[in-house]
Amino acid sequence: MRPSDDKLHAAIIMDGNGRWATARGLPRVAGHPAGAEALRRTVEAAPDLGIRILTVYAFSSDNWQRPRTEVSALMKLFHMYLRRERARCVENGVRVSIIGRRDRLPTMVLPEIESAEKATVEGKKLQLRLAVDYSSREAIAAAAKKLNGHATRDRLSAALGGPDVDLLIRTGGEQRLSDFLLWEAAYAELVFTPVMWPDFQASDLAAAVAEFHSRERRFGAVPKVALA
């Protein structure tokens, strides 16, 4: 489904926390709290830039392969972020939802997820979707299985439950999607930036949105100038 102009869906692969910390002589895990602050800045800036849906890649299903100490630190940070930001989200009209598997998450995290989703359900200014233990390939496979051989483009989109992505940003200098919203990003405009996620500012988000608006989205059609 093509989005309306007043409901921009931006998705961000928040990359570079570990490298940011290492470059400063710090343990890799020190980059993640700094990344949480970057997320707070981004959530605050998004609505004024016309973003109504923001999906961020917080923890992929492949991230379980990271060192146990780093995974544990990430889960504790996720727990703390949900608890700390819940009231702020309610106040600012931000609706929080989690996409991805929940059966492998630590039990301490699950009540915070439920509490954040319930407390912010009336938020209208911005929908913040946190992808945690998320794999797009797994999500597509599960949706296809659910449709039991009756999959079509529209049915798969509905089963996946997420809107199409308009703008996909990846920080940290890498240029790949890393199993993130593969179906939903079929016609997304891609913006890659060398800025490490902890250094990502509202101005970087504004620059990406401006780049998005400078492009002509044709969805496979002939350019408008060619029809003149």
Q: Quick one: three-class SS letters along 64-91?
A: HHCCHHHHHHHHHHHHHHHHHHHHHHHH
C-beta separation of 89 from 96 below 8 A: yes
User: Is 15 tagged catalytic?
Assistant: yes
* Lookup: tokens for 143: 């949706």
Q: How many residues does the chain have?
A: 228
C-beta separation of 171 from 13 below 8 A: yes
Give 56's Cβ-side CA count (13 Å radius).
23
What DSSP state is assigned to residue 164?
Answer: P
Which among 5, 63, 133, 166 is annotated as catalytic?
63
Question: E strands along the chain, which residues?
Answer: 8-13, 51-60, 94-99, 126-134, 167-170, 189-192
Question: 61, 108, 64: which is closest to 83 by C-alpha?
Answer: 108
List active site positions. 15, 63
